[in-house]
């Protein structure tokens, strides 16, 4: 019996892009493909862990709306991701907005279920608190993973107001819990003021290497991507993208903007340069549409998720060919 071809997005030459439900890239819902997908796009509308401007709970749906303009062929990666693998929108994980501890448990349980089905996760946040339960779930399946973290901020602080689970603490908790491979941890895009030099000292002790936004500007995306590939090696990789890695000119719609960030072009080129890495899942967080002008941030985020999804779909197809 011939293998069933993946079901792709709605044909925009027949149904206008502005018509119909806003699934990611106009892809089918998970229930429309029998409940199984190779890559599941999942929203987590949660922003109780933010320390400044709220609103990222609306980020996932803003990204979905902006993604209506995405097309099925990705020329930068010479791939048609939605034909290579079944990508589907799995809807949202409904996390408790009043109880961070319960929300973290809910996200982890839901991520476990998706990963156990055989899918890879492309998660749309929400704030960066959700990275911790997602990493727990991925490590449960793959063991400690390499982490590539795009952000203006380290997110390895200890607590905020005594709280251990916030959007500024997920990667310290992940290191403490042993879900990360500490020989392959990288921040990209770091910039801006810190609380003190101890922030950097603590971060280095956890095993993180830092590529600042100025490093990207001076060295260029290709050289940076090469360095990251060498650090990651053949380890299973998790990519976490805080949209504030981009300069506010490219991403004004976020909760903690910092001047001097990456351009959207630089971010996309670095991601494309990860071809060949074992990308097992990814998240994209901190899109706050209330502060977005003309959907600039949501558009950049939709293209970022598209590049990550393409990388994962290509790997699914390559694995099938090898088997």
Convert the pLDDT of each residue in 213-255 to its tens digit: 999 999 999 999 999 999 999 999 999 999 999 999 999 999 9
Q: Where is 25: in which H helix or E strand?
A: none
CB within 8 Å of 117: residues ≥ 6 apart: 35, 36, 37, 40
Measured between its terminal Cα atoms, the distance across the chain in Å is 18
DSSP 32-91: GGTT--SEEEEEE---TT-SS---GGGHHHHHHHHGGG--S-BTTTTB-HHHHS-EEEEE
Model pLDDT for residues 92-137, shown as the tens digit of each residue: 999 999 999 999 999 999 999 999 999 999 999 999 999 999 999 9
Nearest to 111 by CA among 130, 89, 86: 130
Instruction: For 247, list phi and psi in degrees, rounded to 5.
Output: -60, 145
- Complete DSSP assignment for 178-241: T-EEEEEEEEEEE-S--S-HHHHHHHHHTTEEEEEHHHHHHH-HHHHHHHHHHHHTTSEEEEEE
- pLDDT (0 to 100) of residue 4: 82
State how far the Cα of 303 lies from the Cα of 298, in Å rounded to an integer. 9
Q: Which residues are annotated as a binding site?
A: 128, 151, 153, 155, 242, 244
pLDDT at residue 1, rounded to an integer:
38
Higher pLDDT, 2 or 49: 49
Strand partners, 125: 44
Distance CA(79)–CA(154), nearest Å, equals 33
In sequence order, what are the beta bridge partners of 262? 246
Residue numbering of the annotated binding site for Mn(2+) = 128, 151, 153, 155, 242, 244
Top-confidence residue, 5 or 50: 50
pLDDT digits (tens, 9 = 90+) for 255-293: 999 999 999 999 999 999 999 999 999 999 999 999 998
Output the average pLDDT for the chain: 97
Percentage of the chain modeled with pLDDT above 90? 98
Q: What's the pTM?
A: 0.98
Tokens of 226: 């090469």
Task: Tell whether the model's pLDDT for residue 2 goes beyond 80.
Answer: no
**Token pair of 134 as six digits:** 């997602």
Cα 38 to its chain centre, rounded Å, is 16
Q: For the sheet containing 236-242, what is the strand order?
A: 87-92, 39-44, 120-125, 278-285, 236-242, 145-150, 180-190, 208-212
What is the C-alpha to C-alpha distance for residues 130 and 271, in angstroms, rounded to an integer?
A: 21
Q: How crowded is the C-beta side of 192, counted as CA atoms within 13 Å?
A: 21
pLDDT band at 70; cut points 50, 70, 90 = very high
Asked if residue 19 has pLDDT above 60, the reply is: yes
| pLDDT at residue 37, as a whole number | 98
**Domain 28-322: which CATH class?**
alpha beta
Domain residue ranges in the chain:
28-322
Q: Sorting pLDDT into bands at 50, 70 and 90, what band is 68?
A: very high
- Residue 238's nearest CA partner among 150, 106, 164 is 150
**Over residues 129-149, mean pLDDT:** 98
CA distance 242 to 47: 13
How is residue 58 written in tokens? 């609306």
Band of residue 3 on the pLDDT scale cut at 50, 70, 90: low
Contacts of 15 (CB under 8 A, 6+ apart): none
Residue 150 CA to residue 155 CA, distance in Å, equals 10
């Amino acid at each position: 019996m011939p293998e069933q071809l993946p079901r792709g997005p709605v044909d925009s030459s027949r149904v206008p892009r502005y018509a119909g439900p806003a699934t990611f890239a106009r892809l089918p819902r998970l229930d429309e493909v029998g409940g199984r997908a190779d890559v599941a796009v999942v929203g987590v509308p949660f922003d109780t862990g933010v320390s400044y401007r709220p609103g990222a709970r609306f980020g996932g749906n803003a990204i979905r709306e902006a993604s209506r303009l995405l097309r099925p062929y990705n020329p930068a990666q010479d791939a048609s991701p939605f034909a290579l693998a079944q990508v589907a929108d799995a809807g949202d994980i409904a996390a408790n907005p009043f109880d961070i501890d319960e929300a973290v448990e809910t996200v982890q349980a839901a991520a476990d279920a998706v990963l156990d089905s055989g899918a890879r996760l492309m998660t749309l946040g929400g704030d960066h608190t959700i990275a911790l339960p997602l990493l727990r779930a991925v490590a449960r399946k793959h063991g400690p993973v390499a982490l590539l973290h795009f952000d203006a901020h380290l997110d390895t602080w200890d607590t905020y107001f005594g709280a251990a689970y916030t959007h500024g603490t997920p990667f310290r908790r992940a290191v403490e819990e042993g879900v990360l491979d500490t020989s392959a941890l990288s921040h990209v895009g770091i910039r801006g003021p810190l609380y003190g030099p101890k922030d950097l000292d603590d971060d280095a002790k956890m095993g993180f290497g830092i590529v600042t936004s100025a490093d990207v500007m001076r060295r260029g995306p290709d050289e940076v991507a090469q360095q990251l590939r060498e650090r990651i090696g053949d380890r299973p990789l998790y990519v976490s993208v805080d949209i504030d890695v981009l300069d506010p000119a490219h991403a004004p719609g976020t909760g903690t903007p910092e001047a001097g960030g990456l351009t959207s072009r630089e971010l996309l080129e670095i991601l494309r340069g990860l071809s060949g890495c074992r990308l097992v899942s990814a998240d994209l967080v901190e899109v706050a549409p209330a502060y977005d002008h003309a959907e600039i941030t949501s558009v950049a985020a939709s293209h970022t998720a598209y590049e990550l999804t393409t990388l994962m779909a290509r790997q699914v197809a390559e694995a099938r060919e090898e088997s």
